[in-house]
Copies of this chain bind each other. A is one copy, B any other.
Amino acid sequence: MSHPTLEDVAARAGVSRALVSLVMRGSPKVGKERREAVLEAARELGYRPNVMARSLAAGRTGMVGLLADLHDPACAALHDGMAEAAARRSVRLLLVGGGGRPARERAALHQLLDLRPDGVLLANPRSSASDIERAAGTCPLAVVGRSPRSARLDGVTGDDAAAVELAVSHLAALGHRDIACLSLSPRPPASLRNAYAAAMRDAGLGDRPIARDLLAPPAPEDGGRAGAWRPSEPFSAAVAIGDATGAGALAALGRTGLRVPGDVSLVVVGDPPGAAAIGVTTVAPPPRELGRAAMELLLDRIGGERPEEGRRITVPPLVVGRPSTAPPA
């Protein structure tokens, strides 16, 4: 028999279906005698409860859905943290791949909600605020990675400003004094500019404007040849804000004769793909921790807490030291 049912087990153990159901759910009010008989029969038959049937009857599914982009390298650690927290409360974690594009994510979200999970976790969602709010009307929901737009939603995020400060103080502690700050964004948020300036001040250093690129193009007389790029200002270390900026900074440095970390130390605020492989120091909230916190928020809500205001958790950043940082030459 490929899929024995509760009834099969009951028949084999010589008891009623309800009794088997109680045993399977570990009810304390079943005699030791019968319990063992039931367990024995179930084992012999290779019985496994049908989650669908159970959910339908119970009105809860016992599972939490995660919508995430598998291409995000932090996704695995995020999932680990969630799985860990879920396991502690014996909740099953199911993943559907959002895949980045909003249209695909929307479809995936629907697919997830159709399963009637007890709750939903959205990792770095790209969906519209209204889609997310509609979903939240359907079942408990928490957002991780970005701040949810609606104030009623629970969310777990990192703290970019704290990360910038930490990056600067890390470099300062290493002995750097000329610490530049890079951002691809044409106008970085004031919070980040302030964080950089404040951290430099705290370290007793003077800040400079946040730049999009610290390397001036080769002078015409150089003939534009590779290797002729030079720093537009002297600096021995740089903080690149954001994954894209980090990648760009590395590429830019690669075009110069500048060695990392020999000539310049580099810290990326964020967690770009391949950071570990490339050996670049990063400052970011540990994704595992983000996941754990989000799952806990969600489980609280599933457990019955229904605060009017969404709760927000901020996970402090951590420095992951890699070979791209060293004391100045």
Which chain A residues have a beta carbon within 8 Å of chain B's beta carbons? 2-3, 48-53, 55-56, 61, 69-71, 73, 75-76, 79-80, 83, 92-97, 99, 110-111, 113-116, 137-138, 247, 272-278
Contacts and interface: CB of A to CB of B under 8 A. Distances in A.
A278 B278 contact: yes
B96 A95 contact: yes
A138 B5 CA distance: 14
A114 B49 contact: yes
B73 A73 contact: yes
Nearest to A56: B52
Nearest to A273: B277
A296 to B, nearest CB: 18
Contacts of A48: 110, 113-114
Contacts of A275: 274, 277
Given A274-B275, A274-B277, A277-B277, 10 more contacts: A50-B114, A51-B114, A51-B115, A52-B61, A83-B97, A93-B97, A272-B277, A273-B277, A274-B276, A275-B277
Given A56-B56, A274-B274, A94 B96 contact: yes
Contact of A116 (B50, B79, B92, B116): B50
A126 B137 CA distance: 40
Contacts of A113: 48
Contacts of A55: 52
A79 B70 contact: yes
Nearest to A274: B277
Given A76-B70, A95-B97, A138 B278 contact: no
The 9 lowest CB-CB distance pairs between A and B, nearest first, are A274-B277, A274-B274, A70-B76, A95-B95, A71-B76, A51-B114, A52-B52, A52-B56, A277-B278
A83 B55 CA distance: 26
Nearest to A113: B48
Contacts of A2: 137-138
